Chain A
């Protein structure tokens, strides 16, 4: 029977662990904050936006605890250079197509590890003289479990193809290797107890609002395009795919100029299919983004359509974006 005042951690050691946690949390919250602007998907943006503040509060609570442990306030410290390298790697994916990698790093690698570490710490911290640290960790545990569940919901939504799933697994494996090599957030090795893996049966109250964010992202499943314009867009797109120089020009509005440069950019991606990716209105005009996808990438045409006596006519068109074909996997 252990003595109730038996302790595993000295004051100095406890302060060091807290600096280590603060280091990981601070870097994660800065990364999440910076990524919001790089992430196109609304659901992922909202996920990150919600969790930046929770993490800032964790870092703040850790930082305020430090002077109580005879250490300077609000200081972060990595356990070793290898953990700093792990965080560097976690922050690497900044491409607009790399939302999955960003979320995997935080929600499938870092946060489950922090959760397991905090639980391990609480289990070993003395309940008589370490309640201040335990209370902070208990709040962090609750938040991290909720974050992981929400992150998993969004990841399942975004990593929706076998190729994306594979990308996620490869990236997760790489980061987990770096984390293990660093000995985890404390440098003392990975904790025995792992975080409960998030599953589809996760209680809804732990799922944050993630499902709602996905719904909000999908509010429009079918663009409200009038039937006659829809038919025109189909024919216009087909004519461009057919590379028939004269055919698409039939839809030009009086006085509008055909953009030969736009046409060339479009053909450069060897388009094989087209679809509407955005539909907006300015008064009676309709702005339509048409994406042409092919072997060498995708080109997005921004077109403006105006109603005329003989049907819809294109009054302006320009290339809004050209994307080269996506790499299958992130670099090792």
Chain B
């Protein structure tokens, strides 16, 4: 099913289109979505290892490290689902993250995946850590905090390789950043991602974490502006 159809089904039943973090069940729904996202991130990083043998060796090395990280994340989220009394397959999911990971140019792929999607992961996980802390779930809090640390590393890798792979080729860099921005736009989730308090908005932009990951003030500002003009589902 398309994400749009699932969202519409939820709206028709008076539910939020994207799981909020207001109940244990909606946290489970969110964790399920993240688990599937991690699976697709592992697949995407694996494809990057495979698809670009001509890229610098250190690029392959970083992407191989990311595959390992994502495989641990899948395992962590499968276990967190168990912790929340859920199971893999409990909620319908889509392959949208995987489709975003299919850019043919390595620079576009790291821009889209490592900066766009992993940036989104920073927002989502940072908020989840906060909510878990508030609800007194140290299992969820600690596990997601470590995943968040990895995601920050992946964003840094993305920034490094976007620069190195496009050195001396401003047109390639422009196209890669444009691709990242289409992903940022798509994953504003119809206005769900916004600047705001963890408990006030569905997905809160993690400005501090983004700074730590190497996003510039200008990039953060641009993302915030883009969320203000995002279309609803």
Contact = CB atoms under 8 A, between A and B. Distances in A.
A285 B9 contact: yes
Contacts of B34: none
Contact of A30 (B15, B44, B50, B74): B50
B78 A45 contact: no
A263 to B, nearest CB: 20
A216 B75 contact: yes
Interface in A32-47: 32-37, 42, 45-46
Interface of B: 1, 6, 9-10, 13, 15, 39, 42-51, 53, 57, 60-61, 63-65, 67-68, 70-71, 74-75, 78-79, 81-82, 87-92, 98
B88 A281 contact: no
Dominant SS at the B interface? Answer: helix
Interface string A29-73: 111111111000010011011101111100010010000000000
Contact of A302 (B1, B51, B71): B1
Nearest to B49: A33
Given A34-B47, A52-B64, A60-B57, A281 B75 contact: no
Given A37-B47, A37-B98, A287-B1, A52 B67 contact: yes
A146 to B, nearest CB: 14
B92 A56 contact: no
B49 A50 contact: no
A29 B49 contact: yes
A45 B68 contact: no
A220 B15 CA distance: 26
A278 B39 CA distance: 18
For this complex, into which size category does the number of interface residues on chain A fall?
35 or more
A50 B43 CA distance: 12
Contact of A50 (B60, B68, B89, B90): B68
Given A63-B57, A283-B15, A49 B71 contact: yes
Contact of A46 (B49, B71, B82): B71
Contacts of B79: 216
A31 B50 contact: yes
A279 interface: yes
A78 to B, nearest CB: 14
A136 to B, nearest CB: 16
11 contacts: A33-B46, A37-B46, A42-B39, A49-B67, A50-B71, A53-B68, A219-B78, A285-B9, A285-B13, A287-B1, A302-B1
Contacts of A279: 89
B34 to A, nearest CB: 15
Contacts of A36: 42-43, 46-47, 67
Nearest to A283: B13
Contact of A45 (B39, B81, B98): B39
B42 A56 contact: no
Contacts of B68: 49-50, 52-54
A236 interface: no
Contacts of A30: 49-50, 53, 60
A138 to B, nearest CB: 21
B91 A49 contact: no
Nearest to A280: B92
A213 B74 CA distance: 10
Contacts of A74: 57
A33 B47 contact: yes
B40 to A, nearest CB: 8
A209 B68 CA distance: 13
A3 interface: no
A34 B46 contact: yes
A326 interface: no
Given A282-B6, A282-B92, A53 B75 contact: no
Give the 4 A-B CB pairs with smallest separation, nearest first.
A49-B71, A34-B50, A33-B49, A53-B68
A278 B89 contact: yes
A107 B57 CA distance: 24
A52 B70 CA distance: 11
Contacts of A287: 1, 92
A280 B89 CA distance: 6
A178 B92 CA distance: 44
B153 to A, nearest CB: 13
Contacts of A48: 46, 71
Given A33-B45, A42-B39, 5 more contacts: A34-B51, A36-B67, A281-B90, A282-B10, A283-B13
